[in-house]
Structure formats: C-alpha cells, structure tokens
Amino acid sequence: MGKTELIQQIRRIAAEIQPYTSSHTIGQSVWNGEQYAPVVSPKSMDPYALSWWATLITMAAMMEYQEDSLSGKQLEYLHRTLLGGMGSFNDFSLDEKLFGSEAGTTNRNLSRLRHELFLMFREYER
C-alpha cells in the first residue's frame, strides 16, 4: 500500500460525506451533474460534515502534490487527526434523527471506510 491508495481512500471518505455539506430550499436550483434543476424538497446541511469534508479534501490534495513519500511525523498527524481519540474524524457521525435512514447508511459506510483506512495506515507504517 502506498501514498496513492491512502489518498484515494481519504477521497472516498470525503465523497461519502459531501452530500451533507450544503443545504437547499425549495425554489433554488442545484447542479445535478448534468444541469441546474429546481429543488423539490428542502435539504439541511451538517456543519461538521462540511468541516471534515474540507479537511479531508485538503489533506488529500496536499499529500498528492508532495513528491516525496510521507514522513513519520506526517503519518502520525494524519493517523491522529483521522483515527485518533476524542475530536478525531473517528468520532464523526451523522444525526439519523435529522437526516433519516440515509444518514444511517452513510454512517455504516463511514465505519467500513475508516476501518479500511486504519488497515491502510498499519500497512503503510511497515
């Protein structure tokens, strides 16, 4: 496992929480991947999802543009920030009462992706 796989995993995690990073009200138009379409049902955003999404995509971009392999201190920072104790990304989950069953699915996906990331760190550190 190398730096590229670690970057890809971080981007997969960011993509998983991206839908929760913006809010929309009825009457607005949002990009649906092909065109701007009217919003037919309101959607709330999660400020913690937005914060973590921005952190994750920034981490991935910085790692990608670094030509050298990651140093021990960089790996330690990434591991602590993403999978460490209180306040790390490991503590993040979406509120299923607010976002419904879709959030439950996302939370389960995040759990799986974080476990895979943990295994990647273990492999990378060898």
Q: Where are the domains of the chain?
A: 3-124
Which secondary structure element, helix H or strand E, spans residue 44, and what is its range? none
- State the Cα–Cα distance between residues 114 and 29, nearest whole angstrom: 33
Instruction: Label residue 126 by pLDDT band (50, 70, 90).
Output: low
Q: What six digits make up the tokens of 28?
A: 């607005």
In the three-class reduction of DSSP (H, G, I as helix; E, B as strand; rest coil), residue 8 is classed as helix
If you average pLDDT over residues 21-29, what whole number do you get?
A: 89
How crowded is residue 66: how many other Cβ atoms within 10 Å of its Cβ?
12
If you average pLDDT over residues 7-27, what whole number do you get?
A: 93
Mean pLDDT of the chain: 91
**pTM of the predicted model as reported, rounded to 2 decimal places:** 0.87
Task: Report percent pLDDT > 90 for the chain.
Answer: 63
For residue 71, give the amino acid letter: S
If you average pLDDT over residues 60-88, what whole number do you get?
A: 90
If you average pLDDT over residues 13-25, what whole number do you get?
A: 93
The Cα-based distances of 13 to 17, 41, 42, 67, 68 in angstroms read 7, 26, 24, 23, 23
Angle at 107 between CA 102 and CA 108, to 5 degrees: 100
Instruction: Label residue 32 by pLDDT band (50, 70, 90).
Output: confident
Task: Report percent pLDDT > 70 for the chain.
Answer: 98
Residue 9 or residue 39, greater confidence: 9
Q: What six digits make up the tokens of 112?
A: 């799986």
Residue 90 or residue 31, greater confidence: 90
